[in-house]
Structure 1
Amino acid sequence: MKEHLQDMNDDLLVKHLIGEATSEENRQVAAWLAEDAANRHYYAHFKLIWEESLQLAAKSTVNENDAWVRMQQRLQHGPATSATVTPMYRRMAWLRMAAVILVIVGAAWLAWTMLSPATDASLYATIYSNDKVVKDTLPDGSVVTLNKHATFSYPKKFTGNTRSITLEGEAFFDIAHDESKPFIIHTNDVTIKVLGTSFNVKSSAEKTEVIVETGVVEVARKNHAIQLRQHEKTTILKDEQTPVKQENTDELYNYYRTNTLVCNGTPLSRLVEILNEAYNADIVIANDKLKALPINTTFNNESLDTILNLISKTFETYNIQIEHHGQQIILK
């Protein structure tokens, strides 16, 4: 491994990617990512290879344990032996799957990219939005807008039969139409496939949400897929296998692109959910009967205090009080 990777191993990254890591291991990965841009670069491309290859693993006839040994021989400076594969690892499905997938896509190529970051950087671009919203145009003319704290990795030149990218966090996509090259987004273990459309993707450790603004989007997880059209969405929880189509009832997902919160009969609880995201706040509705109150108004880039005061005035018959307890804000 390269020197900047000495405190991280690929086994732990695989566990993190498939949701098998413990809370402590996830914190370890998060700290490692925050430590060095080179670590984030490595992780983004490791994740891209992993997610592009999931669909191939099910068709493979590769012996899993032999595959893992061969992959280790290529990824490490020294040769690996069968001792590299411990009995515990042989029993773990996620590790056997990792071996198969990485061999299928070409462990030699993976090793080359991992050990040659300068060359790899010339082929791929990775964007970290950090504390601001970032907008970028891709090589095919597609436009992506990243919400804060999102990571986006894509080839600097799309080749082959698809346009494949990876995403962590939230982003809005306006995809240039190209029937010969479907645009494919990998996030968590969900695959989103489009030809040309606009839609919002939001991923976290617990769920993946896709909202379609225009066109048609295919959302797949494992062997289950659905098609979403305008004003439709799906929210796939971590432990769910099958995406379920739902109606999208508001436009609040657009807040980071438009700096506007449009409420049209929106339940107060939904508005508070978005306020917590947009302002990194901790707002709690103390009384359940307030959560379903519908609000009809538009907030145009106002401060959080201004919005909360307007909420209080809007529902003055309920005498909503705003209380601050440290970092927490309570509406009651």
Structure 2
Amino acid sequence: MKRQSDHINDDLLVKYLLDIATPMEKAAVAEWLTEKEEHQRYFEHFRLIWTESKKLAAVSTVNENDAWSRFQQRVGTNENTARIVQLDTGINWKPLLRIAAVLIVLLGAAGFWYLSKTIGQPMIVSSGQQIKSETLPDGSQVTLNKQSTIEYAASFKKERSVKLEGEAFFNVAQDPGKPFILKVNDVTVRVLGTSFNVKSVNGKTEVIVETGAVEVSKNSNSVQLKQHEKAVVTSDQSAPSKQSNNDELYNYYRTQTFVCNNTPLWKLVEILNEAYGVNIVIADNNKRDLQINSTFTNSSLDSTLQVIGLTYEIEVEKKGSQIILK
């Protein structure tokens, strides 16, 4: 097991699990647990290893006295500590502390056992109803839109392989020796270090490059994309098509801002329906391709629709579960 920080290490977690940590140490561990989900996951893994270590301790041939001496040196515990704890609580903690010392020695073995059990098991992260951020083993940052899932290995070896369902923005850490390969449906996106957005819905996959360059392929057909370019491929197409892209609307779920640059009304409506979980329909087909040039920042749906209505002479009508633009 690894040292977590200058203050939160495995020895302190052992004391925390034994409930012999000082109030200050307990507060430090509690604060550490709330800082990151990674810390919570580590602690749960540590707790599992701790449980398994107890089983190993029962049959261990580790020299208890030697282990106890090493434990004393590591966490600043001594014979007087055990005596004080006994006086304060009426419980003789010394045998438990000695067991803890043996378990500390065995944690390495238990950790190896745990890793051997979990190796090859993919990490699966789903966003559910919330937009979620995740850091991959290589340091790459991923922002998942709602109802999206990524799957990846706990550690990357020869290549960095990720599977996606739904939509996500990737800011990929540079590592020329390990290509970053994203699989979504039957489409493959290959990069070395860049940022891009991928959206897959109803059999249609769209890849938009924000910085750097990517390769998008399906079957044996591929296209190279750079900044302000995108690739679109549907389930019935054998190859992705390359297009220019000046639209920043795709970023709405990361920035909480709807940026429209000559964006057709129908596309803005699609995004608003997705973002707010509503059913907006365009009743006047002549207005479907109306070009929208506005930025809506931290706006409510009502205020956004009001601006659209006043600016582009569109009537907004609410009828049952529908919002009708005409």
Structure 2 length-normalised TM? 0.63
Corresponding residue for 1:181?
A: 178
Q: State which structure, 1 or 2, has the greater radius of gyration over its C-alpha atoms.
A: 2
Partners of 1:218 and 1:158 lie apart in 2 by 20
Matched, 1:300 2:297: yes
Match of 2:324 in 1: 330
Q: Secondary structure at the match of 2:268?
A: helix
How far, CA to CA, are the matches of 2:259 and 2:195 in structure 1? 19
The answer to whether the 8 A contact 1:207-1:236 is kept is yes
Which of 133, 136, 140 does residue 134 from structure 2 map onto? 136
SS of the aligned residue for 2:262 comes to strand
Give the secondary-structure state (helix, strand or coil) at the position aligned to 1:245.
Answer: strand
- Could you list the runs of 5+ residues in structure 2 that have no partner in the other structure? 1-113
Task: Output the CA distance in 1 between the equivalents of 2:118 and 2:174.
Answer: 27
Q: Counterpart in 2 of 1:258?
A: 255
Q: Is the contact made by 1:173 and 1:200 (CA closer than 8 Å) also made in structure 2?
A: yes
2:145 to 142, 147, 153: 147
Residue 265 of structure 1 and its aligned partner are, at CA, apart by: 2.5
Name the CA shift for 1:252/1:121 in 2 (closer, same or farther; >3 Å).
farther
> Could you say what secondary structure the match of 1:264 adopts?
coil
- Asked if the contact 1:123/1:157 (under 8 Å) is kept, the reply is no
Q: Pick from 206, 217, 230: which aligns with 2:214? A: 217
Separation in structure 1 between the aligned mates of residue 287 and residue 150 of structure 2, nearest angstrom: 38
Question: SS at 2:173's partner residue?
Answer: coil
> Counterpart in 1 of 2:48?
none
1:239 aligns with 2:236: yes
Question: Deviations 1:84-128 (Å, cap 9, x if unpaired)?
Answer: xxxxxxxxxxxxxxxxxxxxxxxxxxxxxxxx9x93477421101
Contact (CA 8 Å) 1:225, 1:242: kept in 2 or not? yes
Q: CA deviation at 1:295?
A: 2.1
1:285 aligns with 2:285: no
1:163 aligns with 2:160: yes
- Greater relative contact order (Cα 8 A, min sep 6): structure 1 or 2? 1
Cα deviation digits, residues 37-75 of structure 1 (max 9, x gap): xxxxxxxxxxxxxxxxxxxxxxxxxxxxxxxxxxxxxxx
In 1, distance between residues paired with 2:173 and 2:230? Answer: 21
Amino acid at match of 1:236: V
Per the alignment, in what secondary structure is the counterpart of residue 323 of structure 2?
strand
Partners of 2:184 and 2:290 in 1: CA distance: 34
C-alpha distance in structure 2 between counterparts of 1:181 and 1:123, whole Å: 20
CA distance in 2, matches of 1:167, 1:131: 17
Given that 2:209 and 2:229 are in contact with CA atoms closer than 8 Å, whether structure 1 keeps it comes out as yes
Quote how far apart the aligned CAs of 1:304 are: 0.9
Name the count of aligned residue pairs: 213
- Report the Cα distance in structure 1 between the residues aligned to 2:211 and 2:274, rounded to whole angstroms: 24
Q: Secondary structure at the match of 1:158?
A: coil
Give how far 1:276 is off: 1.2
Secondary structure of the corresponding residue to residue 273 of structure 1:
helix
Alignment of 1:16-35 (within 5 A): none
Does residue 191 of structure 1 match 2:185? no
Aligned-residue RMSD, C-alpha? 1.9
The code of the aligned residue for 1:216 comes to A
Counterpart CA distance in 2 for 1:276 and 1:141 is 33
